[in-house]
Amino acid sequence: MRVGLDYRAGLVNREGIGRYTRELVRALCGLGFDGNLGLFGYTLATQRFSPAELGIEGSRTELVRLRMPARWTPWLLERLRKGVDDLVGGCAVYHHTQPNLLAVREAAEVVTIFDCIYTLDAGYMDPAGAERMTAVAREMVERARRILVPSEFVGAEVVMALGAHPGRISITRLGCDHIVRGLPPGGFGEAASPYILTVSRVDPRKNHPRMLEAFELLVRDGFPHRWVIAGPAGWGSDAFERALAASPARERVEWRREVPDGELTRLYAGADAFLFASLNEGFGLPPLEAMACGTPVVTSCVTSLPEVCGDAALLVEPTDPGQIFEAARRVLSDPELAADLVRRGNIRARALTWRECARSTLRAYRAATMPDGGEPALRRSL
């Protein structure tokens, strides 16, 4: 079974979709599936990762690059009267890894949907962009033989918000073992000065203003920590920028907008606590990355995060800065609690690997080639 896969994000994107695409392919190669993979990279942007960083160096995986603006690709396919499956040399399954559907001529289609935040009227993103993404997601769901989701929470959302048949959904939980590739055997040693870490894009959904309020309470309570934020500015980040400029704790906040992978691992490992009070997550990879690096985690009690983190994190109501403060205070002042969270986090992180994600993805590919897409018949009841 040959599989074509949208690899554009893997070539240029350091965030969630790019990470998912690179690590999934790396794990598929590790399972010996590399001879069956045709990767399609259609972008004019400069490739940001070497073959070794992509995980395909020395493999039999074929990478087809089209160095042209991505928006031209649908026009090209229409002009050539081809599908994207033709461009990768033909395949039984074509995997759309991002919300950018391309024409497919013969292959069974598989899509990954990471979340449904664009369907919510919650001010999380640009309204016009949300409308476009919702339309694309609905078409993805309609066309796909299998729909891959990273959590049960997203699976339920895809059914309720996008009308997917439950039988076509496969849960392929993400891995976090990539982060430990940058950990030296003896660790990095202690940081020069103590800090709390948050890793995420800054936008309304990630809830940085309320985390800032909680951090101000920590500073007022006498804690010596800095708050390090690692992540770029996203849509709506100006609200946090204004709050930070007016904050009495602003001199203790360090916002690093671009952090290389090696430095990110060091930041995780050196933090006294990891704070991630997001309002909505389809999976929430950063808390698991922190656990894998031996850092105690405070995160939200909503959406996918309790499912993903289990009992390995302190869960808080993200709309309550007081709760966020109290949980962070407990972790920073109670060594036994922090050590227990580190122990639980290590167990949780070891259970979620990219190899297991690849195995569940291969099962979904096989189901997609079945005559009914692997979809069980619905029983009627009175």
Q: How many whole angstroms separate alpha carbon 5 and alpha carbon 58?
A: 19
And the tokens for 60?
A: 């039999």
Tell me, yes or no, if the two domains 3-175+354-368 and 178-351 fold the same way: yes
CB 313 within 8 A of CB 307: no
Q: How many whole angstroms separate alpha carbon 171 and alpha carbon 364?
A: 9
Return the ∠ at Cα 307 (arms to 302 and 309), rounded to 5°: 95
In the chain, where the domains are located: 3-175+354-368, 178-351
CA distances from 109 to 37, 101, 122, 149, 289 (A): 15, 10, 31, 15, 30
Q: How many whole angstroms separate alpha carbon 68 and alpha carbon 81?
A: 18
The pTM score is 0.93
Confidence (pLDDT) at 184: 80
CB 341 within 8 A of CB 165: no
**Does domain 3-175+354-368 match CATH 3.20.20.70?**
no
Please provide residue 105's backbone torsions phi and psi, each rounded to the nearest 5 degrees.
-90, -50
* Torsion, CA 88, CA 92, CA 95, CA 101, rounded to 10: 70
What stretches of 31-147 show up as alpha helix (H) in DSSP? 51-54, 73-80, 84-87, 127-143
Residues with Cβ within 8 Å of 154's Cβ and at least 6 positions away in sequence, in order, are: 113, 114, 115, 116, 282, 283, 304
Q: pLDDT tens, position by position, for the chain (382 residues)?
A: 999 999 999 999 888 899 999 999 999 999 999 999 999 999 998 888 888 889 898 899 999 999 989 999 999 999 999 999 999 999 999 999 999 889 999 999 999 999 999 999 999 999 999 999 999 999 999 999 999 999 999 999 999 999 999 999 999 999 999 999 878 877 777 778 999 999 999 999 999 999 999 999 999 999 999 999 999 999 999 999 999 999 999 999 999 999 988 899 999 999 999 999 999 999 999 999 999 999 999 999 999 999 999 999 999 999 999 999 999 999 999 999 999 999 999 999 999 999 999 999 999 999 999 987 666 544 433 3
Confidence (pLDDT) at 192: 82
Q: How many whole angstroms separate alpha carbon 20 and alpha carbon 15?
A: 9
Q: How many whole angstroms separate alpha carbon 371 and alpha carbon 218?
A: 58
Confidence (pLDDT) at 374: 60
Residue 335 falls in which region: left (phi positive, over 0), alpha (psi -120 to 50) or beta? alpha
And the tokens for 67?
A: 């160095």
User: What superfamily would CATH give domain 178-351?
Assistant: Glycogen Phosphorylase B; (3.40.50.2000)
CB 228 within 8 A of CB 191: no
Q: How many whole angstroms separate alpha carbon 375 and alpha carbon 365?
A: 13
Confidence (pLDDT) at 378: 44
* Residue whose C-alpha is closest to residue 224's, from 243, 252, 204: 252
Please provide residue 57's backbone torsions phi and psi, each rounded to the nearest 5 degrees.
-65, 130
* Residue whose C-alpha is closest to residue 175's, from 312, 355, 365, 332: 355
Residue 349: count of CB within 10 angstroms of its CB: 23
